[in-house]
Structure 1
Amino acid sequence: MRYGATVGLALLLAAGAGALATGPAAAPAPATGRATLVRADTTTVAAPLPAALVLAPEVPELPGGGTKVFGHRRFLVAYYGTAGTGALGVLGETAPDAMQRRLWRAAQPFKLPGERVQPVYELIVTVADPIPGPHGAFNHDIARERVQEYVDAAHRNKALLVLDIQPGRTDFLTVVKRWRWALEDPWVGLALDPEWRMGPRQVPGRVIGSVTAAEVNRVSDWLSGLVERRHLPEKPLLLHQFRTTMIRGIEHVADRPGLAEVQHADGFGTQAQKLATYHTIARPEQFAMGFKLFYDEDVHRFTPAQVRRIRPAVRFVSYQ
């Protein structure tokens, strides 16, 4: 972690140490958050600095500058999927750097004057399964080294990475904590996909899952705490939804410091069907709004210009 100080603060600390010295052997203040008092008898005493003078760790910037996800007039465009396969989305159809070039071309038409488009990789890192698996959880994690490939690619290409969670029968927070090592990276955010949050007798792919606001709040509280403790920039937290029943008590989802919460309207179909879903679930007073486009399943897929005309305004688009 890098630490920074202004020249004025350095001079202030030096002046403070000098004023407290009463003998010729006065020592400069150390860079430890404590001032040194040197008495005439050469006895050295450490005294705490005022809290306002203790140096705070620098917060790393997001790609393109700043620490806010939607700051600097960012419009976010993502490719969605998992590593090494196109079966779950376009993200995994090619290697990360080839995917980045395709994503960049897809993102440019969304840009309005004065804006910048921000590429995002939405990577499914925990995949829901139709079979119980060794622990009866109906999910599996992709290999850590595959996730690291996308972390590295994000930093090479100045992209954000969002870890998408399909938890099966496990609660979201238990699964999310398995990915703490990646979420400690300043450019890595999180997405929760309630479609794949199963009850104790439910099987992924047979029913549409759901999550309570209380469970979402446990995750957001943990993630917000991680941002604070690790001195990280704001993180995106996406909540996928295409039915009102998928997030039960959504009005009680908490707004957490350090998180940019996005309600991501999922689901494929005709333009009329997708707009009907969007307008039914949208809560723009509570969240930034997201919208998903499907290369294969959408009928007369929305163009970027059409997406930008949707109201309430969309600020995050993903392609699957």
Structure 2
Amino acid sequence: MLFSLTPRAALVAATFGLLAAASLPACKTSPNEGENGGAAANDSVANKPAPVDTIKIKAMAMRRDSLKADSIAKKTGQLPGAILPGHRIIAFYGNIRSKGMGILGREPKDQMFRKFAGVLKEWQAADPSIPVQAALHNVTITAQGSPGKDGKWRLMNSKATIEEVISWAREHKCILFLDVQPGHSTLQVEVPKLEPYLKQPDIHLGIDPEFSLATMPGVRPNQKIGTLDAKDVNWTINYLARLVSENKLPPKVLTVHRFTRKMLTNYKNIKLDPRVQVVMHMDGHGEPTLKKDSYHDYIQVEPVQYTGFKLFYEYDARPKPHHIMTPEEVLTQLTPKPLYIQYQ
């Protein structure tokens, strides 16, 4: 009887075969063949094992992990420990060292957490069918108004600051997002700097195309709105997926800020992975009608996976009589209902 290998088994067999071939010594020439120097010159080459293609092996291992994750997700609907879609994440955004970047850092710590507790209650009351998950969203690599020594226009928080915001989050049973504004650097350079933290199960990632200016030489942050492509998002997904597999972590959540079409190009090319839950996050401020239109145009009609919506304490209510949308308004006026809510 003939048996066909499953895709996963075929990959395992291919990987084993590649490793086995790499470990076998090559055939040697006989002593006589080398007496006159003809074959002897190639003898040392022949004795060397074939080189191991480590890049290919890693890629195959990643693919094997991805197939395993896909299989589990199809059976259960999600991977163990996944936050979405079983929870609604409610986040306070900013930087604990800055009063100007958002509610996280604007008010004294205890006062801010009292306010946050009230917001969490409002959201839970607005939709009792889904539990809320509290989160802090700290901008950890921040676009700057000056180029710095390397000309990349960004600055990373100190280790002490990152560890402090981690302690805040854990003290109040929050998950934590570390946000990256790459300036004139790239995600491929900046995100790995956060790896020691992203290896921890309660720490997730945000990326901000608005402040991604590597393709715009000479442009200062805030002069123009930056951009990322699907290939950048895919690189980030693959990076986080590897961390999940290597460290046996629950799925990571990745938020991608967006409030214009050009902030994210080729969204249809984004390749999802069960180990990473992608939230396309409507990040614009203004009066409610404008915010709803932006959510429709850049989030709803260009879907990726999960959706997010930002509310601004300082900007959404300007000018009067505009107001900050309530949880009930967000849930009844947006389709799909966002599973990630961020307050700045």
| Range into which the TM-score falls when normalised by the shorter chain | 0.7 to 0.9
Residues 1:304 and 2:327 are matched in the alignment? yes
Map 1:1-320 onto structure 2 (within 5 A): 67-70=81-84, 73-94=86-107, 96=109, 98-111=111-124, 112-198=127-213, 199-283=216-300, 285-298=303-316, 299-309=322-332, 310-320=334-344
Deviation by residue 1:170-228 (Cα, 9 ceiling, x = unmatched): 11121010011111110000000000000333210100000111111111111110111
Q: CA deviation at 1:286?
A: 2.2
**Structure 2: distance between partners of 1:107 and 1:117:** 7
SS in 1 for 2:313: coil
Deviates most, 198-207 or 135-144? 198-207
Q: CA deviation at 1:99?
A: 3.0
Aligned identity (percent) is 28
Deviates most, 105-114 or 279-288? 279-288
**Structure 2: distance between partners of 1:301 and 1:154:** 25
294 and 74 in structure 1: CA distance in 2 versus 1, 3 angstrom threshold: same
**Structure 2: distance between partners of 1:96 and 1:148:** 15
**Structure 2: distance between partners of 1:97 and 1:222:** 35
Q: Unpaired segments of 5 or more residues in structure 2?
A: 1-79, 317-321
Structure with the largest fraction of helix: 2
Q: Determine if contact 1:110/1:308 at 8 Å carries over to the other structure.
A: no
Structure with the largest fraction of strand: 1
Q: CA deviation at 1:294?
A: 0.4
Compute the TM-score of the two structures, normalised by the length of structure 2. Answer: 0.71
Q: CA deviation at 1:95?
A: 5.0
Q: Which amino acid aligns with 2:339?
A: R
SS in 1 for 2:256: strand
**Structure 1: distance between partners of 2:330 and 2:276:** 24
Q: Hey, what does 1:35 align to over in structure 2?
A: none
Q: CA deviation at 1:94?
A: 3.7
SS in 2 for 1:251: helix
Q: Unpaired segments of 5 or more residues in structure 1?
A: 1-65
Q: Which amino acid aligns with 1:280?
A: D
**Structure 2: distance between partners of 1:200 and 1:221:** 27
**Structure 2: distance between partners of 1:149 and 1:235:** 21
Q: Which amino acid aligns with 2:313?
A: Y
Q: Hey, what does 2:5 align to over in structure 1?
A: none
**Structure 1: distance between partners of 2:268 and 2:219:** 25
SS in 2 for 1:176: helix
213 and 134 in structure 1: CA distance in 2 versus 1, 3 angstrom threshold: same
Deviates most, 270-279 or 299-308? 299-308
Aligned length: 254
Compute the TM-score of the two structures, normalised by the length of structure 1. Answer: 0.76
Q: Which amino acid aligns with 1:138?
A: W
